[in-house]
Amino acid sequence: MAKRVCPRCGTEFADSSRFCNQCGAKLVDAPEISIKATQRTISSSMINYRLGLVYYKKGKLDDAIAAWEKVLKMEPDNIEVRQSIEKARREKEELTKE
């Protein structure tokens, strides 16, 4: 049976749905290998994103930005991460002004 995988969020679908019920993206047919590759990218960028949040909450802005930049390399279209980096950079600037 041909599996379908969401190109946006990586969710797998065994049925014949044409759209992802997680995020609404159009689904594509994908071989097993690319499904696994997608999942690995998602989990490893998710770890770095969460790591960045931990650093950010501790006030370690440089470490947070570094972790989020790794995510951005894997997911250049991730707007949420891009905005987090910009926010952290602005806060860093505010701190150095004083």
Indicate the residue type of 80.
E
Q: In this chain, which of 23, 37, 46, 95 binds Zn ion, going by CB under 5 A?
A: 23
| Distance in Å, CB of 71 to Zn ion, minimum | 18
Among 4, 5, 20, 75, binds Zn ion (CB under 5 A): 20
Stated length of the chain: 98
Three-class SS of residue 28? strand
- Does 3 contact Zn ion by CB under 5 A? no
Q: Does 8 participate in binding Zn ion (rule CB under 5 A)?
A: yes
